[in-house]
Structure 1
Amino acid sequence: MEYKYVGYYYILLILVIGCKTGNIKSQKNKQENLKTWHQKDYNTDKLPGISLEKFLSKSKSLKSNNQIIVAVLDTQIDTNHEDLKDAIWVNTDEIPNNKIDDDKNGYVDDINGWNFIGTKSGDYTVWGNFEYTRIVRDYTPVFKDKKREEIAAGDLFKYDEYLRALKYQDKWSTYYTNFLKSLKYNTLLYPSAKDTLKYYFPKEDYTLKQLDSVYNLYKKNNKTYKERRNSGDTDFASLVLMMKVNLELYKDFEELNDKRTQLDSIANKNLNINYNERISIGDNEKVLEKGYGNGKINSKLAGTRRLFGHSTKVSSIIAANRKNNIGIKGFSDNIKIMPLSISPSGDESDKDVAASIYYAVDNGAKVINMSFMKEFSLHPEWVIEAMQYAEKHNVLLVHGSGNDAFDIDTNPTYPNDYYYDGKEEVCGNLISVGSISSRVDSTFVSDFSNYGKKNVDLFAPGENIYTAIPENEYESGSGTSLSAPMVSGTAALIWLYYPNLTVQEVKQIILDSGTAYDIEVLIPGEKGKKTHFRELSKTGKVLNVYNAMELAKKISKTKSEEKKNKPQGISYRN
C-alpha cells in the first residue's frame, strides 16, 4: 500500500511540474507574441496584425533578386546597430571622405545618405523653431496690424495662417514660460527640501500621502502651489508642497534638472523668433538648393540618443535583419534604408522636406517614409512640387497621420496631398496612416492617433511596437511614426516581387487589400464618444500584407499578359 501511495505521489508531482512548465512556456510564448503582434494574422493568431508572417510562411518559394531602397526622412540614425548595419544604403558612386562630389549629384561625400540640418562646422542642428514661430517671424512684417479687407485675395490664405500661428505662438509661449518658471522654482528649492525632510524621513522613503499629511500639518494658509511659486515662497510648507509635486512628476533630481534644461531650450529656441537655426546651417532659407548640410547621419555630436533614436526605430520596422536571430525582423533583407536627416528638436523645415524628397527620388529610392507631422507649413508649395516630382518618377510617399488625437480633415497637418485652402488632392502617391492597438474592442484605435475620413487612408499597428533603439538595444514604443513604416515595408515588398506596377497601382493595392473590422470604437480625443471604425479613415481598413501581395500578384500577372498579347507595331520599309 505504501508503494502504491508513493507512486500516486510521483504521478501527482509530475503533473504539477508539467503544469508549471506549461504555464511558464505559455507565458513566454505570449510575451514573444506581443513583441511581434503587429506581424500576426487575426484569423490565425487572434491578433489584429498586418499578416506579414502569414505571407512569408506561404511564399518561401517566391524569389526576388531585386533590391528596393526606402528613404527614411527622420532624425539621425544608428548605422552601426546590430540589426540595421547591413541594411543601410551605400552610394557606390561616391568615394568616401575625399571631399569631392564624385557622382555629381550635388552632395559631397554622401556615402549613406545626407544630413540636411548638418551645420557648416560639421556639427548637427539640435534645436529648430516650431513652424508657427517661423511663420510669425516671416509674416509679421507683411501682415502685422492689418485688417482682412486690406489683404489681396491671393494672400488671404497666408494671412489667415499668420493669425492662426500668432494664437499658437502666444498660447505655447505662455505655457512653456510658466512651465519653465515652475521647474526653476523646483530645482532651486529641491536641495533644501530634501535636507529638511530627512529630519522626518531619514531613509527618504516618504510617499505622496505622507507628504500631504506633513503639508497639511504645517501650512499656515491655503496658498496654491502656483501662488507659492509666483511669490517665491521658501517656508517649510512650500518645501514640502514642492517635493510633493516633484514626486508626482519626476523620479529624481536628475530627471527634474534634465526637464528644466529641455524646457529652457523650448522657450528660448523653439519658440524664439530671434533664434534661427538656418544661420548655423549656412544655407539660403528663401530658395531651394542642393548641397547644404553634411554627410554625417550618425553623429554622436547630437549628444543624446533621443536625437538619433527615432529613425533607428522607424528603420528597424522596415528592414531589421531577418537572418541574425537577434532583436527583431523587418520585411525583407533586400530592403535598403536611405537615411535622410531633417528632424531636429522642433519642426522640420519645408525646405529640408522638399530637398530630401528630391534627393531620395534622384538617388534611387522607391518608397519615402515620413514619420513626422506638423500643424503649419511655411512653404507648402515646395513640398507639393517635390511630391508631384516623386509621383512622376513612380515613387510612393508614406506619412504618419500624427499623435494629437484629432480629425485632420478639420485640423491642418503637413505634409499632405492637398492644400487647406480648398484645392483638391494634388498628387496620387501619398498614403496617410493612423494607429491601432492589439485590442479588438472599443479601444482598437490608439487613443493618441489622428484620424480623418478624407485624409487618413488606412490604419496600421502603432501601439506597443517592439523596435531597435540605439546602441544595440530594443524597446517597445507607440505612435503613428511606427504605423507608417508598416506601410512603407509593404510597398517595398510589393515592388521587390512585382516591379512592373506603377505607384498609383501600389497605393491602390494597399488601400483595397486591407482588413475591415466591424466594430464600434472610441474616437480619439472625444471623451467617450464612439463611431464605427470605418468612419475614421478613407478605406475603413487595417493594412494587410498577405492580401496586398495576393492582389499585387494578380494585377501584375494581368498586366504582363496584356502586354504580351498586345499587337506589336508593324514596321514598313520603302
Structure 2
Amino acid sequence: MNKIFFKRALAVAFIATMPFFATAQERKANWQNLDLKTDSVFGISTEKAYKELLKGKKSTPVIVAVLDGGVDINHEDLKRVIWTNKKEIAGNGVDDDKNGYIDDVHGWNFIGGKDGSVEFETLELTRLVRRDAIRFRDVTPTTNDMLETDKKEYDQFLKNREDFEKRLATAKSDLQGIGGFKTVLDQVVKKIGKENPTKEDFSNFKAQTGQEERLRATMLEILDEVDFKKFYDNDISGGYKQAYEMVNYNLNLDYNPRTVVGDNPNDSKERFYGNKDVKGPDASHGSHVAGIIAADRTNSLGIKGVADNVLIMGVRNTPNGDERDKDVANAIRYAADNGAKVLNMSFGKSYSWDKAVVDEAVKYAISKDVLLVQAAGNDNADIDVEPNYPSRKFLDGTIAGSWIVVGASDEKDDETLKAGFSNFGKTAVDVFAPGVKINSTVPDNNIYKEENGTSMAAPVVSGLAALIRSYYPKLTAPQVKDIILKSVVKVNRDVKNMKDGAPVTVPFASLSVTGGIVNTYNALKLAETYK
C-alpha cells in the first residue's frame, strides 16, 4: 500500500489523532545526494562522487523498473529518461514483439483493462476476510468434524476478522476526528478572512466557542513549524482523504474494483492481462520514486536523480490499497523479461494471498541477474518479527540473495537520524537511506513535492545500484548488493525510536544488518576494486 507518513500532532478534545508531518527547518535542495562532511547533512555523497570519481568516465544505460502506481512519462524532468521498447510500434494495436502485451512501449499496467484502470483497492486483509467469510459461513467454534488443516485456517480467519474490525473502527474514528477538526478549522479560517493565515492571525483571533479556542491554541503550536497552506494541504486535506479512502475503499468488504481489469483475480498463473497505460489515474507516488532514481541531471530544471544514465520502465501493479500477489509476480517477470536490471518496489503489506507465486517470480528475476530493492515500510515496526510482504524469505525457508531492504533516515547526524516512521530489523532490513522531506517529481503540471517514507529511501538505493551497474556493467547483481552493503557509513550512536507508544533510545547499529547509511562515493570506490 502506498503509505505517506503522518507525524501525530497534539490531541484536542474533538480529535484523537490528527495527522501532521511538519518539521521546522528547511532542507538543503537535493539533500539526499549531499555529503555529511562537506554539506553538514547525512546524504549519500552522490554529488561528491560525480565530481571526484566519475568525471570523464563512460557509462552504459541501465533499465530500472519502477513497480508502483504509475509514472508520468511526460514530466519535464523524466521524459528524457523513460524507457522505450524499440521492438514495439506505438499505437498500432498489435503485439509487435510478441511478448503478450500489446503496445507496451514504455512498460505495462497490470491493474488496468480495456475500459480503464484500478485506482482504489481493498487491503489484502479485507480480501482474505471476504473470501474466508464465505468459506466458513456455516462453521462455528464448536464444529468438531473439521480437518486439522481446516481448523488452522479457520482460526486464522477469526484472527484476521478481529484485526479487520479493529482497523475499521480506528479508520472510522480517524475520519470522524479529522473531519471534525477540518470543519472547525474551515470555519475559523473563514472568520479570519485569509486563505493562508499566519500565526499572528490565529493569535489575534477571538474564539467564540471552546472548540475554536482549542483549535486556536493547537494552530499556534503548529504554525511555529510550518506555514498554514502546507499544513492544510498535506495534513488536513491529505489526512481526511487518507481516512476517507480507508473507510470507503481499503476496508470496505463490499468494494471490488477488479472487474475493470477483466482477469480472473483468483488465477495466480494468469499472465496476459492489463493495458499499456503506465501512468494510470494517480501516478504521484511512482513519479516521485522515478525522479529520485533518475530525474534528468543534464537539464537545469527541478531536481537531480541519483543515476545519470538510467531508463525508467513503468510497471503499474500498486493501487491505492494493497497490491495483489498475482500482479506483483507478473510485474517482476515483465520487468525481468524486458531487460530491467534493477527493480524498485516501494510497496508492502502485512498479509499475503499467494506468496508462492511471488517467490517463483523473484527466483526467475534473480536467474536473469536482476537486483530487487524494497522499501522496509512505514509502521515503525520490527520486521524481524512483524510480517511484511513481499518478503525475500521464501516459503521453503531459503533467502533471495539479490534483494536489498531499505529503511529511512533523516538529515541530521544526531539522535533523530532514524526516521520516526521507518520499519527496522537487525536481519530483515539491510541499510538505511534518506527518506524524509525528499523533493521529487509529481505528475501533470511539471511540479515537484516533498514526501516522506521508506518509499523515498528505496529509490535512493535503486539509483545507487543503477549507477554502479552503469559504470561497472560487468558486475553481477549479487556483487552490486555486496558493494552497497559493505560501503555504508557506519553509525555508532544511539537514536530515538518508539516502542509500545513510548520513546526509547536504541543503538542505530541494532536497526539493520549493516548498521549504516548507503554512500555513493564509498560504493563506487569499492566497485573499482571488484573484478
Instruction: Between 263-272 and 393-402, report the one with greater CA deviation.
Output: 263-272
TM-aligned CA deviation for residue 188 of structure 1? 9.0
CA distance in 2, matches of 1:454, 1:159: 31
What residue in structure 1 maps to residue 311 of structure 2?
336
TM-aligned CA deviation for residue 403 of structure 1? 0.9
CA distance in 2, matches of 1:245, 1:44: 40
1:465 aligns with 2:446: no
Distance 1:444 1:161, change over 3 A: farther
1:479-518 maps to which residues of 2 (within 5 A)?
A: 479-518=453-492
What residue in structure 2 maps to residue 136 of structure 1?
129
Does the 8 Å contact 2:437/2:451 carry over to 1? yes
SS of alignment partner, residue 439 of structure 2: strand
- Render the CA deviation track for 1:424-462: whole Å, top value 9, x for unaligned: 343112110001111111111011110001100111111
TM-aligned CA deviation for residue 368 of structure 1? 0.3
| Match for residue 72 of structure 1 among 66, 70, 74 | 66
Does the 8 Å contact 1:513/1:543 carry over to 2? yes
CA distance in 1, matches of 2:510, 2:235: 41
Query: TM-score, normalized by length of structure 1?
Result: 0.77
1:336-375 maps to which residues of 2 (within 5 A)?
A: 336-375=311-350
| Match for residue 551 of structure 1 among 481, 504, 526 | 526
SS of alignment partner, residue 523 of structure 1: strand
| Match for residue 174 of structure 1 among 165, 169, 173 | 169
| Match for residue 256 of structure 2 among 251, 270, 276 | 276
CA distance in 2, matches of 1:81, 1:64: 26
| Match for residue 275 of structure 2 among 294, 309, 321 | 294
What residue in structure 1 maps to residue 422 of structure 2?
449
What amino acid does structure 2 have at the position aligned with 1:389? Y
SS of alignment partner, residue 329 of structure 2: helix
Does the 8 Å contact 1:131/1:374 carry over to 2? yes
SS of alignment partner, residue 209 of structure 2: helix
What residue in structure 1 maps to residue 91 of structure 2?
97
Does the 8 Å contact 2:117/2:260 carry over to 1? no
Gaps of 5+ in 2: 1-24, 223-227
TM-aligned CA deviation for residue 93 of structure 1? 0.5
Distance 1:529 1:186, change over 3 A: closer
Distance 1:245 1:503, change over 3 A: same
What residue in structure 2 maps to residue 125 of structure 1?
118
Does the 8 Å contact 2:69/2:279 carry over to 1? no
Distance 1:153 1:339, change over 3 A: farther
Does the 8 Å contact 2:33/2:306 carry over to 1? no
Distance 1:327 1:265, change over 3 A: closer
CA distance in 2, matches of 1:41, 1:534: 20
CA distance in 2, matches of 1:261, 1:555: 49
1:248-267 maps to which residues of 2 (within 5 A)?
A: 263-267=243-247
Distance 1:46 1:246, change over 3 A: closer
What amino acid does structure 2 have at the position aligned with 1:110? D
Gaps of 5+ in 1: 1-29, 217-237, 557-574
Does the 8 Å contact 2:371/2:403 carry over to 1? yes
1:518-533 maps to which residues of 2 (within 5 A)?
A: 518-525=492-499, 527-533=502-508
SS of alignment partner, residue 474 of structure 1: strand
What amino acid does structure 2 have at the position aligned with 1:291? F
| Match for residue 379 of structure 1 among 350, 354, 361 | 354
CA distance in 1, matches of 2:437, 2:270: 39
- Render the CA deviation track for 1:90-119: whole Å, top value 9, x for unaligned: 011111111111111111111101111113
Does the 8 Å contact 1:448/1:525 carry over to 2? no
CA distance in 1, matches of 2:48, 2:241: 47
Query: TM-score, normalized by length of structure 2?
Result: 0.83
TM-aligned CA deviation for residue 507 of structure 1? 1.3
- Render the CA deviation track for 1:283-312: whole Å, top value 9, x for unaligned: 11112322311111234xx2xxxx211111
CA distance in 1, matches of 2:181, 2:42: 45
TM-aligned CA deviation for residue 261 of structure 1? 6.6
Distance 1:538 1:163, change over 3 A: farther
Distance 1:332 1:264, change over 3 A: closer
1:165 aligns with 2:160: yes
| Match for residue 47 of structure 2 among 53, 62, 65 | 53
SS of alignment partner, residue 100 of structure 2: coil
1:413 aligns with 2:388: yes
CA distance in 1, matches of 2:118, 2:217: 33
Distance 1:548 1:261, change over 3 A: closer
CA distance in 2, matches of 1:182, 1:80: 38
CA distance in 1, matches of 2:493, 2:235: 41
1:110 aligns with 2:104: yes
What amino acid does structure 2 have at the position aligned with 1:492? A
Does the 8 Å contact 2:307/2:464 carry over to 1? no
What amino acid does structure 2 have at the position aligned with 1:69? I
TM-aligned CA deviation for residue 479 of structure 1? 0.9
1:170-249 maps to which residues of 2 (within 5 A)?
A: 170-180=165-175, 207=202, 214-215=208-209
Distance 1:359 1:203, change over 3 A: closer
Distance 1:483 1:107, change over 3 A: same
SS of alignment partner, residue 413 of structure 1: coil
TM-aligned CA deviation for residue 80 of structure 1? 1.1
What residue in structure 2 maps to residue 9 of structure 1?
none
TM-aligned CA deviation for residue 41 of structure 1? 2.4
What residue in structure 2 maps to residue 309 of structure 1?
284
CA distance in 2, matches of 1:460, 1:490: 11
Structure number with larger C-alpha Rg = 1
CA distance in 1, matches of 2:328, 2:213: 46
SS of alignment partner, residue 529 of structure 1: strand
What amino acid does structure 2 have at the position aligned with 1:490? L
CA distance in 2, matches of 1:160, 1:479: 34
SS of alignment partner, residue 374 of structure 2: strand
What amino acid does structure 2 have at the position aligned with 1:52? T
Does the 8 Å contact 2:493/2:507 carry over to 1? yes
Does the 8 Å contact 2:34/2:47 carry over to 1? yes
Does the 8 Å contact 1:450/1:524 carry over to 2? no
CA distance in 2, matches of 1:320, 1:466: 11
Distance 1:78 1:211, change over 3 A: same
- Render the CA deviation track for 1:224-245: whole Å, top value 9, x for unaligned: xxxxxxxxxxxxxx9x699889
What residue in structure 1 maps to residue 14 of structure 2?
none
Instruction: Between 363-372 and 540-549, report the one with greater CA deviation.
Output: 540-549
What amino acid does structure 1 have at the position aligned with 2:357? W
CA distance in 2, matches of 1:282, 1:415: 24
Distance 1:174 1:282, change over 3 A: same
CA distance in 2, matches of 1:83, 1:176: 36
SS of alignment partner, residue 34 of structure 1: coil
What residue in structure 1 maps to residue 3 of structure 2?
none
Instruction: Between 542-551 and 201-210, report the one with greater CA deviation.
Output: 201-210
SS of alignment partner, residue 431 of structure 1: strand
CA distance in 1, matches of 2:129, 2:344: 29
C-alpha RMSD of matched pairs (Å): 3.4
Instruction: Between 164-173 and 436-445, report the one with greater CA deviation.
Output: 164-173
TM-aligned CA deviation for residue 163 of structure 1? 3.5
What amino acid does structure 2 have at the position aligned with 1:141? I
